[in-house]
Amino acid sequence: MNKLPADLSDNVIEDLRTKSRNESMRVSSPELEEILYKPIPVLNHGFVRLIDYMGTDSSIVQAARVSYGVGTKKTQEDKGLINYLMRHGHTTPFEMCELKLHLKLPIFVARQWLRHRTANVNEYSARYSVLSNEFYLPEIDQIAQQSESNRQGKSDDALEPGKAQEILDAIACIQQNAYEKYSHLLNDMSLTRELARTVLPVGVYTEMYWKIDLHNLLHFLKLRADSHAQYEIRCYANVILDIVKKWVPHTYEAFVNYRQKSVSVPQHCQDLINRALRGEKISPEESGLSKGEWQEFTKIFSIDKQ
């Protein structure tokens, strides 16, 4: 297996973990210090590794009170202020905290990830270095047919176990054949790395450093740590969400309450809810909602069960 560049190698990371620690006056999180530089496994070959961080819940509160200026109630609880900021969409104070992660993930997950453009990214380059023979293979219970109604999702109908295993074996065979061709082009035919990489499927693993502020990280988690997100990126998002819980527990709680598990209710739906509270019977035909809107609305508020 080919070695990674020096800045990504396990030896360098281990040196960072074992070197003597310097005293610092900057705010720190004991919970994050415990996991700093430690890889947290994700999928079959991936990981999330915390490389650095800046700020804590107290940094958010400090920034908010500075921006409020004279008249700030300094006795106000930090948790209450963070809840207020999250509830009313005051996002700037959350930008005062940052996280830097080292990620190992399949290329198709990385391409989804990089749709979130409000971050600083440096990815392992297959133009200059040789990719290792590591591919994502899904668990057999993740093998499913394409949904007929959702172009981005899988069907709820389970595949027969024998067929699922046949598909898994086919994926593994294609990946191994592709890597053999990749190695042949590099080693036997002296093709440039930048062209040889074109034969590899998007299941091959890549690595990247990803630095993002807390406000934009929470937006990422709102979308990706969600049941509608693809399973593979959701696995990474859930690991990062747990890091956020350790890092900024008050912000994590506010995020869950006011962002992750909250819903946006448009005016016409508010009117329907008020009618239901008054005891009126609401039907889908006269609700003014599309079929999809009605299904979402009734699932959340149980209007059809009145």
Domain ranges of the chain: 12-136+205-260, 140-202, 267-305
Q: What is the DSSP string of 195-219?
A: HHGGGS-TTBEEEEEEEEEHHHHHH
Q: How far apart are CA 114 and CA 112, in angstroms?
A: 6
CB 132 within 8 A of CB 3: no
Q: How far apart are CA 162 and CA 263, in angstroms?
A: 41
Is residue 306 scored above 80 in pLDDT? Answer: no
More confident residue, 21 or 259: 259
Concerning whether 224 is annotated as a catalytic residue, the answer is yes
Residue position matching structure tokens 């992750």? 260
CB 73 within 8 A of CB 95: no
User: Of the listed 197, 224, 259, 275, which one is catalytic?
Assistant: 224
Q: What is the mean pLDDT of the segment spanning 157-176?
A: 89
Q: In this predicted structure, which of 14-18, 58-62, 118-122, 188-192 has the lowest mean pLDDT? A: 14-18
What's 225-243 look like in SS3?
A: CCCCCCHHHHHHHHHHHHH
Query: Which DSSP helix (H) or strand (E) runs through 154?
Result: strand 154-158
Domain 12-136+205-260 in this protein, CATH class: alpha beta
- Indicate the average pLDDT of the chain: 86
Q: How far apart are CA 92 and CA 215, in angstroms?
A: 8
> How far is Cα of residue 263 from the mean position of the Cα atoms in its chain?
20
Secondary structure letter of residue 125 according to DSSP: -
CB 136 within 8 A of CB 205: yes
Which of 217, 256, 220 lies closest to 87 in space, CA to CA? Answer: 256
Q: In this predicted structure, which of 56-65, 84-93, 272-281, 297-306 has the lowest mean pLDDT? A: 297-306
